[in-house]
């Protein structure tokens, strides 16, 4: 790739600069099925926003004013705190989820989308269970964690394929 850069002022003689890559660039093409990965990512964003609305509604209900993150009310504070923590925990893992969804979706779009949708369902079960005020009920959504790990391994398999670490026919899952 060659760029012309003007050295000094605009009227000066241009200097030719060439950038080269040490590694060959792989052509990246997306199939029609990548639309499912995008829709899954959008569903994840909608989930995060819906959980935020639940926290806002709980703030009004339990009278927790901004900027307080947690309630100190001994009677109903635990319920608000659990609703808020369900949203906060989802926010904590959401960037990693989106990264894994996109990287796994590059080579395995249908698998990534399916795992992603089940992870989102797990987040809802997690949030609804946690929002009861009994933190132990959040564990009903742990099936989403298995899907998260599935995305992790699919991302790893995709990286192996891109790096050429798959000996037979360039295809491998793990």
Tokens of 123: 């987040």
pLDDT of 19 over the 70 cut = no
- In angstroms, the CA 113 to CA 81 distance is 31
Q: 42-80 burial, b if ≥16 CB within 10 A, otherwise e?
A: eebeebeeebeebbeebbeebebeeeeeebeeeeeebbb
Alpha helical stretches, state H, the chain: 34-62, 77-107, 109-130, 143-163
pLDDT of 60 over the 80 cut = yes
- In angstroms, the CA 83 to CA 124 distance is 12
Q: pLDDT tens, 75-105?
A: 888 999 999 999 999 999 999 999 999 999 9
Per-residue CA distances from 83 to 44, 68, 131, 138 (Å) = 18, 14, 5, 11
pLDDT band at 31; cut points 50, 70, 90: confident
pLDDT of 53 over the 90 cut = yes
The answer to which of 11-20, 26-35, 131-140 has the lowest mean pLDDT is: 11-20
């Amino acid at each position: 790739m060659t760029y012309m850069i003007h050295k000094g002022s605009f009227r000066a003689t241009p200097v030719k600069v060439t950038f080269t890559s040490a590694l060959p660039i792989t052509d990246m093409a997306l199939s029609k099925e990548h639309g499912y990965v995008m829709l899954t990512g959008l569903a994840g964003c909608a989930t995060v926003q819906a959980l935020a609305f639940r926290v806002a509604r709980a703030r009004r209900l339990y009278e927790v004013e901004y900027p307080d993150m947690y309630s100190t009310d001994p009677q109903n504070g635990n319920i608000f705190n659990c609703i808020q923590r369900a949203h906060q925990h989802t926010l904590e893992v959401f960037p990693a989820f989106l990264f894994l969804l996109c990287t796994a979706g590059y080579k395995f779009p249908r698998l990534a989308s399916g795992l992603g949708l089940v992870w989102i369902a797990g987040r809802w079960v997690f949030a609804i269970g946690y929002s009861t005020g009994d933190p132990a009920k959040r564990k009903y959504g742990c099936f989403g964690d298995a899907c998260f790990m599935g995305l992790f391994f699919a991302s790893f398999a995709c990286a192996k394929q891109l790096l050429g670490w798959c000996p037979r026919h360039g295809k491998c899952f793990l």
